[in-house]
Amino acid sequence: MRRGHDIGGRVSKSGGLARFAWLSIAAAVTTIALKTGAWLLTGSVGLLSDALESLVNLVAAAMTLAMLTLASKPPDEEHTYGHGKAEYFASGVEGALILLAAAGIGWAAVGRLREPVAIEQPWLGLAVSSLASLVNFVVARVLLSAARKHHSIALEADSRHLMTDVWTSAGVVLGLVGVAVTGWQRLDPVIALVVAANIVFSGISILKRSASGLLDQALPKQEQEAVTRVLSSFGPTVQFHALRTIQSGPRRFISLHVLVPGDWTVKRGHSLLEDIERSLRRAVPNASVFTHLEAIDDPVSFDDIELDRDAGSDPLASDLPANDHPQKG
């Protein structure tokens, strides 16, 4: 007996998150204007690097908007599990754009190291850059709060990218102050190189998370522990195995086999599955739960613990005994 709740009845909330992507786009346009103006006023390569990263922010925010719109589409005949993984494409593209921006910053900074250029009106540039950083900081906090509330990796990537921009701007400001105080013109491109290195780290981190999501990564440890607590709360006569979890954008998928005494009625088993699924959905937000009822006293029930029922003939397949699978009893 295999059952699960219809995903089609649970349309993703990603469509409602589009407003946050529009907020990110507005912030990117504003900061591009501010930082470009600051660069034109000062000639600082650090501020140029900052403006370039804001341009990347704009492209990334537009990509996030497109993928959130796609992810909000309900399941269809060709995508029966929905379109939630579209968010991983958004975060992956954002990570790649961050690395491109870092390369551009490094190229400009090396040129200025070879041929230093005097910075003009550093304090005015400092004021304009600080205002742009404040805009990014406020928007980044709003996006991160929404990402955590709605479990959106696309918004999380966008928010962390904006926070990287904030730290980038802080480094640029430090370089401008250092140049203004010491008169050492090469300090500006040195700071730009440090900023580029920080951006590379951020880009690689985002790419890794995106790749993990596209490879059907299991739920985070905290959510897996919540699942285990729920299953442990059921009586000693009930056991579980073949527990598998996947996260797909904001959606979570949980599947497991529930083993009960063979003399139970179908109605009693069905009632138990309803309780288990309800409890798991309560413990793990945005979860679709699939359960399969089996008789604990039937040896055949233990033949399909692996993902592939015939996995026993595959030398690469897991050979764990039943006791190594999460179960009760």
- Do 205 and 276 lie in one domain? The reply is no
The reply to whether 329 falls in a domain is: no
The reply to whether 111 falls in a domain is: yes
- Do 112 and 248 lie in one domain? The reply is no
Query: What is the structure's pLDDT at 308?
Result: 67
- Do 202 and 114 lie in one domain? The reply is yes
Closest CA to 1 of 282, 307, 317, 269: 269
Task: CATH number of the domain at 301, please.
Answer: 3.30.70.1350
Q: How many structural domains are present in the chain?
A: 2
- Give residue 307's domain range: 221-324
Query: What is the structure's pLDDT at 18?
Result: 82
- Do 32 and 17 lie in one domain? The reply is yes
Per-residue DSSP letters for 256-323? EEEEE-TT--HHHHHHHHHHHHHHHHHHSTTEEEEEEEEETT-GGGGTT-SSSTTGGG-TTS----GG
- Do 159 and 19 lie in one domain? The reply is yes
Judged on CB neighbours under 10 Å (0-12, 13-18, 19+), 218 is middle
Q: From 159, 192, 214, give the residue that closes a domain.
A: 214
The reply to whether 230 falls in a domain is: yes
Query: What is the structure's pLDDT at 8?
Result: 45
Digit-by-digit pLDDT tens for the chain (329 residues) are 555 554 444 444 555 778 888 998 998 888 888 878 877 777 766 667 667 767 777 888 888 888 888 877 888 888 877 777 787 887 788 778 778 877 877 777 787 677 766 655 666 667 777 888 888 899 999 998 888 888 787 788 788 778 877 877 777 777 767 776 777 777 777 877 887 787 788 788 878 878 877 777 888 888 999 999 999 898 778 899 989 998 877 788 999 999 999 889 999 999 999 999 999 999 998 888 999 999 988 888 787 777 666 655 444 444 444 444 444 43
Query: What is the structure's pLDDT at 268?
Result: 92
CA-to-CA separations, 235 to 240, 259, 273, 298, 329, in angstroms, rounded: 11, 12, 13, 19, 8
The reply to whether 115 falls in a domain is: yes
Query: What is the structure's pLDDT at 50?
Result: 67
The reply to whether 73 falls in a domain is: yes
- Do 299 and 204 lie in one domain? The reply is no
Task: CATH number of the domain at 134, please.
Answer: 1.20.1510.10
3-state secondary structure of 23: helix
Q: Which amino acid is at 192?
A: A
Closest CA to 193 of 103, 278, 254: 103
Query: What is the structure's pLDDT at 43?
Result: 72
- Do 41 and 93 lie in one domain? The reply is yes
Q: From 190, 214, 238, give the residue that closes a domain.
A: 214
Rounded CA-CA distance 317/218 in Å is: 18
Q: From 192, 214, 236, give the residue that closes a domain.
A: 214
- Do 152 and 283 lie in one domain? The reply is no
- Do 296 and 270 lie in one domain? The reply is yes
Query: What is the structure's pLDDT at 122?
Result: 61
The reply to whether 231 falls in a domain is: yes
Query: What is the structure's pLDDT at 309?
Result: 64
- Do 210 and 225 lie in one domain? The reply is no
